[in-house]
Amino acid sequence: MGMTTLERADASAILGRLGVTPIINAGGSNTKHSGTRPRPECLDAMLAMAEVFVQLDEFLLAAGRAIADLVGVEAATITSGAAGGLVLQAAAALTRDDPERIARLPDADGSPNELIIQRGQRFAYDRLYRLPGARLVEAGSETSCTPEEVEAAITPRTAGIIDVQSPFKDEGMVPLSRLAEIAHRHGLPVLCDGASMLPPRGNLTAYVDAGADTVSFSGGKGIRGPQSTGLLLGKREWVEAARLNNAPNATVGRAQKVSKEEIAGLLAALEAFLAEDEAAETARYRAEMAALVEELAGVPGIRAFVAHDRNHPIPQAVVYFTEAWRGPAGPEIQRRLMAGSPRIYISTLGRADVTVDPLNLQPGEREIVAKRLRETLMEASRG
């Protein structure tokens, strides 16, 4: 057999040899800080799948069906991260199930190739919608958009409407259910990006229920599957059109390959994710973050609190800088923690405040983060 006995690999040996210093990840599932830890069930399934061969189309179809059944939606397929899902959502909107259009991408001239996006929902990854040949058309302004403005942007060249479900991206924008009503009246799909909005687990079906035709989720964020995976779920015809544009076919999605190990890993991770008790998980995160907030008591010029709402999908500790703060803004606090020892990553979400996310904290790390954050803020507060 092809089996060899190996020494158990050692992360500090791997990093030491390369001269790379690990970080404590107290900032959440951000890809640049390596996402999340894959669940043991996920890694186990990946190892097992390394020993067998399958016809990849069959395996992808079957895994997609299993995921759709687990979640309770019409259809699902597996993508190379939520970002890969965005490419496929756009491709599906451009081609539907037409084999000739699928074969022509990224040349999308001659048939509807425009996707409408609300200006206030533009984000760094929206270029991915353009990869298969789509053009983005904006509706509304940075801070507001009305249903009338969305509808006025629709022309015979429109192929779909984008909806971004992400922290701080909904203020002043047209809600998903309203977008869907407009889109469907014009025979158009709604392409929803919900990448980072898990947990809560209810979001797996909430956006579809609100009218999204497909939703792209990360497999490597809250689900804790392989970092390189995502899942695209929703209405059968649009998920199928996305799958036809995806690897392993020689199509526009071919560079977004997902291996049999990753497919099995995502399925196993999703099962474990769904089996977890969300109320207990939330209570645990809340207690961890409350303890961290307590540790920051007495730092002058800040207000620290636990936030758990639409913009903080799991309980997070937010440090808000008040008028009395004399130190530098959030990004500089973030930089100092990353430059310290141990290196600690916290999030700023590009805003003035800083956020600690419990998702990736290992036992004992919350105490270290609290202590270093307190020291860093105390020193910074002296101006």
Ligand X SMILES: *Cc1c(COP(=O)(O)O)cnc(C)c1O
Binding range to ligand X, per CB under 6 A, among 64-72, 193-201, 352-360, 373-381? 193-201
What are the distances in angstroms from CA 41 to CA 204, 228, 345?
Answer: 20, 16, 26
Binding range to ligand X, per CB under 6 A, among 78-86, 87-95, 257-265, 295-303? 78-86
Q: Does 125 bind ligand X (CB under 6 A)?
A: yes
**Contact at 8 Å (CB) between 272 and 45?**
no
Among 41, 114, 170, 193, binds ligand X (CB under 6 A): 193
Binding range to ligand X, per CB under 6 A, among 16-24, 76-84, 272-280, 292-300? 76-84
Q: Does 41 bind ligand X (CB under 6 A)?
A: no
How many other CB atoms sit within 10 Å of the CB of residue 55? 9
Q: Does 120 bind ligand X (CB under 6 A)?
A: no
Task: Compute the least distance from the CB of residue 195 to ligand X, in Å.
Answer: 3
Task: Compute the least distance from the CB of residue 187 to ligand X, in Å.
Answer: 26
**Contact at 8 Å (CB) between 246 and 263?**
no
Among 64, 81, 313, 330, binds ligand X (CB under 6 A): 81
> With b meaning 16 or more CB within 10 Å and e meaning fewer, what string describes 205-217?
ebbbebbbbbbbb
**Contact at 8 Å (CB) between 202 and 71?**
no
* x/- map, 200-229, ligand X, by CB under 6 A: ------------------x-x---------
Angstrom distance (rounded) from CA 42 to CA 47: 9
Residues 6+ apart with CB under 8 A from 166: 123, 193, 194, 195, 196, 197
Task: Compute the least distance from the CB of residue 182 to ligand X, in Å.
Answer: 22
Six token digits for residue 281? 């998980």
Name the burial class of residue 332, with classes exposed (0-12), middle (13-18) and buried (19+) by CB atoms within 10 angstroms of its CB.
Answer: middle
| Cis peptide preceding 106, ω within 30 of 0 | yes
Give how many residues touch ligand X by CB under 6 A.
Answer: 12
| Cis peptide preceding 342, ω within 30 of 0 | yes
Q: Does 195 bind ligand X (CB under 6 A)?
A: yes
Selection from 259, 169, 255, 266 nearest residue 226 by Cα? 266
- SS3 (DSSP) at 298: coil
In the complex with ligand X, the residue whose CB is nearer, 82 or 150, is 82
- SS3 (DSSP) at 137: strand
Task: Compute the least distance from the CB of residue 320 to ligand X, in Å.
Answer: 22
Q: Does 358 bind ligand X (CB under 6 A)?
A: no
Task: Compute the least distance from the CB of residue 128 to ligand X, in Å.
Answer: 8
Six token digits for residue 175? 């809600």
Q: Does 82 bind ligand X (CB under 6 A)?
A: yes
In the complex with ligand X, the residue whose CB is nearer, 193 or 262, is 193
Among 95, 113, 121, 196, binds ligand X (CB under 6 A): 196
Q: Does 31 bind ligand X (CB under 6 A)?
A: yes
In the complex with ligand X, the residue whose CB is nearer, 227 or 376, is 227
Site for ligand X, rule CB under 6 A: 31, 81-83, 125, 166, 193, 195-196, 218, 220, 230
